[in-house]
């Protein structure tokens, strides 16, 4: 039962259980605060997750001014089932909300990450054990490994089999490049996650030992020249950060010859789609509101907003704007067992362009193993980011950039012979 709310004197607090009306900051469904304990200096709140929600879905907001309806999320309460706060003002008001459907984090169900038959196997690179490489079956549950965003770097082996239609339809949100039937002729590895801040720092320090912060957010601030040593796709062996990883893996695995690089646009999109043909890799379509266009202000169509939110951190304008990349692996994976292909950070690809932005450049080949465009001015980016629109987060949307920005990251690709079974 809900504990009755009791008014208190100055220098204490008033705690309100959540109710249906809320201000500009809180989002989601109201949840009852089930227990309130107050003394002269603190207020303690406790709650339980409602059916279908986890404690991690809940957010607590506080206010000292109901007249202006201004609310602030209590950061200390995130992912907790109870919290004790100092009562330092005459009055405080509290409201608790369950996250909007589709915001995640999503529960993990073992054995369901990989459902696409083009995934051959999975490999693990252990960054704290001499970069040892271990091979696992295709459906290896990466999410079950608590070190998967830090010490353990995972990639899936994608089988090159058949053709797929790459890109968007002519006229789709201004696209002026026809989709093309693309064939991949060589198997390749691609990252389960975008490279995280920890993984980037750990490898960047090689061969020196290092202990960077255990930050599982997708790394940002990247630029193609820093990663590869050259933006030109014709460089046969990348130099720079990727070369450090290649050397570390070779040194720790008796000369194992994996060639690390960025994926081509075709390799990225083929793995992102994982056999799907819709706007997003959960087969969800993009334009579903009454006007056939994606709105730029509320109210939103809850059905497609939630479906996009299943797989993407994107700039929903009905929520507080995101200002940094999120930890990887919180959304649902695609059928290849890959996370965050939509949103979070833009991911560099190997193809380049003559100008930045999303101006169309025709595909020059129907073979996708090598870059189709070879100018050296700007590098292709895919997938959208935490502060871009859902339109830009689609599987077939193409973009490019030439400077280091906070929302520019990357996902590893590796070519060469398959790692042998143990």
List the one residue out of 141, 391, 177 whose CA is nearest residue 286. Answer: 391
Selected residue with higher pLDDT from 136 and 110: 136
Highest mean pLDDT out of 47-61, 278-292, 315-329: 315-329
**Residue 179 predicted with pLDDT over 60:** yes
Whole-model pTM? 0.74
Quickly list DSSP for 7-69.
---TTS-------S---SS--SEE----EEEE-SSEEEEE--PPTT--GGGEEEEEEEETTTT
Range in 71-80, 150-159, 211-220, 316-325 with the lowest mean pLDDT? 71-80
Query: Was domain 29-98 assigned CATH 1.10.10.10?
Result: no
**Residue 243 predicted with pLDDT over 80:** yes
**Residue 419 predicted with pLDDT over 60:** yes
User: Residue 121: what pLDDT?
Assistant: 97
User: How many other C-beta atoms can be found within 10 angstroms of the C-beta atom of residue 114?
Assistant: 25
In the chain, which residues fall in CATH 3.90.1580.10?
119-415
User: How many other C-beta atoms can be found within 10 angstroms of the C-beta atom of residue 133?
Assistant: 18
User: Residue 219: what pLDDT?
Assistant: 96
- Mean pLDDT, residues 315-333 taken together: 76
Distance (Å, whole) CA 120 – CA 157: 5
Distance (Å, whole) CA 250 – CA 248: 5
Mean pLDDT, the chain, integer: 75
In the chain, which residues fall in CATH 2.60.40.10?
29-98
- Mean pLDDT, residues 147-154 taken together: 94
Distance (Å, whole) CA 224 – CA 245: 15
**Residue 280 predicted with pLDDT over 90:** no
Query: Was domain 119-415 assigned CATH 3.90.1580.10?
Result: yes
First-to-final CA distance of the chain:
56
> pLDDT-based confidence at 174, cuts 50/70/90?
low
User: Residue 316: what pLDDT?
Assistant: 62
User: Residue 405: what pLDDT?
Assistant: 92
User: Residue 378: what pLDDT?
Assistant: 76
User: Residue 186: what pLDDT?
Assistant: 95
Contact indicator for 347, 409 with CB cutoff of 8 Å: yes
């Amino acid at each position: 039962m809900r504990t009755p709310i009791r008014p208190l004197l100055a220098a204490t607090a008033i705690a309100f259980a959540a109710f249906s009306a809320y201000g500009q900051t809180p989002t989601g469904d109201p949840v009852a605060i089930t227990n309130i304990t107050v003394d002269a200096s603190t207020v303690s709140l406790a709650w339980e997750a409602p059916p279908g929600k986890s404690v991690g879905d809940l957010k607590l907001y506080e206010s000292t001014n109901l007249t202006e309806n201004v609310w602030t999320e209590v950061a200390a309460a995130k992912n907790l089932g109870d919290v004790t706060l100092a009562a330092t003002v005459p009055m405080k008001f509290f409201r608790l909300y369950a996250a909007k459907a589709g915001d995640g984090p999503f529960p993990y169900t073992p054995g369901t990450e990989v459902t696409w038959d083009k995934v051959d196997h999975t490999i693990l690179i252990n960054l704290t054990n001499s970069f040892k490489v271990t091979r696992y079956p295709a459906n290896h549950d990466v999410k079950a490994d608590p070190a998967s965003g830090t010490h353990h770097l995972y990639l899936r082996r994608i089988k090159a089999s058949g053709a797929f239609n790459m890109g968007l339809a002519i006229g789709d949100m201004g696209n002026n490049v026809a989709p093309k039937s693309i064939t991949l002729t060589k198997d390749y590895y691609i990252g389960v996650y975008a490279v995280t801040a920890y993984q980037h720092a750990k490898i960047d320090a090689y061969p020196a030992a290092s202990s960077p912060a255990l930050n599982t957010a997708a790394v940002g601030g990247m630029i193609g020249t820093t990663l590869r040593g050259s933006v030109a796709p014709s460089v046969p062996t990348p130099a720079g950060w990727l070369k450090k990883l290649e050397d570390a893996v070779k040194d720790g695995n008796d000369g194992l010859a994996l060639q690390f690089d960025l994926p081509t646009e075709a390799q990225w999109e083929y793995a992102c789609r994982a056999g799907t043909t819709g706007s997003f890799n959960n087969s969800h379509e993009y334009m579903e509101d009454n006007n056939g266009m994606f709105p730029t202000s509320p109210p939103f169509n809850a059905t497609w907003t939630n479906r996009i939110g299943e797989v993407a951190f994107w700039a929903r304008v009905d929520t507080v704007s995101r200002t940094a990349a999120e930890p990887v692996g919180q959304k649902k994976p695609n059928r290849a067992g890959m996370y965050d292909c939509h949103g979070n950070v833009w991911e560099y690809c190997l193809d380049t362009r003559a100008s930045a932005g999303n101006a169309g450049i025709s595909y020059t080949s129907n073979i996708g193993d090598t870059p189709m465009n070879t100018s050296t001015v700007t590098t292709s980016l895919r997938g959208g980011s935490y502060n871009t629109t859902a339109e830009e987060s689609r599987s077939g949307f193409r973009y490019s950039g030439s400077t280091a920005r906070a929302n520019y990251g990357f996902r590893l690709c590796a070519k060469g012979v398959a790692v042998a079974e143990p």
